């Protein structure tokens, strides 16, 4: 039985078909022609090639058409934050999905209330939590289970002052 499949970009077809009711050894061939590529369902279709049977002697009274069903695929999403010491450079998160053609990545810094196609950037010392989402019309949307952290730490400074000596003479 070939009625459903997980989306992989190739069309789902089903070559199984029978034609019953011909008499006296007459022959005709039924060929399934249905196809479903995108997630969703459609009835299988067919054509009949009349071999020794004469088409005008027969009428299709009953069709039992199978359903071709393609289920949305699953996206895998990976994302990583970063932690660095302030260096006056822009720092951001990195993200990728298992299927990139047609997949849009978006980012949220408010727990998923709003999303942006632009990854957040930190240049100054600070921290933000980032959720990452991957969307593709043929796949189930993936969102990172936990936010990734983007962190820029303050750069440590060393202060050194000069030393001086003098014998007290009442002046500074």
Residue-by-residue pLDDT tens, the chain, 172 positions: 566 788 888 999 998 999 999 999 999 999 999 999 999 999 999 999 999 999 999 999 999 999 999 999 889 999 999 999 999 999 999 999 998 888 999 999 999 999 999 999 999 999 999 999 999 999 999 999 999 999 999 999 999 999 999 999 888 7
Using CA atoms, how far apart are residues 8 and 36, in angstroms rounded to an integer? Answer: 11
Contact 18, 30 (CB under 8 A): yes
List, in sequence order, every residue forming a beta bridge with 133; answer none if it has no partner.
106, 143
pLDDT at 17: 93
pLDDT at 117: 97
pLDDT at 148: 97
Using CA atoms, how far apart are residues 88 and 66, in angstroms rounded to an integer? Answer: 63
Residues 6 or more apart whose CB falls under 8 angstroms from that of 77 comprise 95, 96, 97, 98, 132, 133, 134, 142, 143, 144
Q: Is 70 exposed, middle or buried (0-12, 13-18, 19+ CB in 10 A)?
A: buried
Instruction: Label residues 125-164 b or e (16+ Cβ within 10 Å = b).
Output: eeebbbbbbbbbebbeebbbeebbebbbeeeeeeeeeeee
pLDDT at 2: 65
| Residue 26 DSSP class | -
């Amino acid at each position: 039985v070939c009625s459903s499949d997980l989306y992989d970009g190739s069309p789902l077809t089903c070559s199984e078909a029978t034609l019953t009711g011909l008499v006296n050894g007459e022959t005709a061939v039924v060929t399934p022609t249905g196809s479903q590529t995108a997630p969703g369902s459609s009835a299988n279709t067919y054509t009949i090639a009349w071999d020794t049977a004469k088409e005008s002697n027969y009428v299709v009274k009953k069709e039992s058409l199978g359903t071709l069903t393609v289920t949305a695929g699953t996206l895998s999403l990976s994302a990583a934050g970063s932690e660095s010491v302030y260096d006056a450079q822009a720092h951001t998160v990195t993200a990728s999905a298992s299927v990139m053609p047609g997949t849009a990545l978006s980012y949220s810094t408010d727990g998923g209330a709003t999303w942006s196609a632009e990854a957040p950037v930190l240049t100054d010392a600070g921290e933000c939590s980032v959720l990452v989402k991957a969307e593709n019309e043929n796949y189930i949307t993936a969102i990172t289970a936990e936010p990734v952290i983007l962190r820029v730490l303050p750069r440590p400074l060393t202060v050194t002052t000069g030393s001086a000596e003098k014998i007290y003479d009442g002046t500074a």
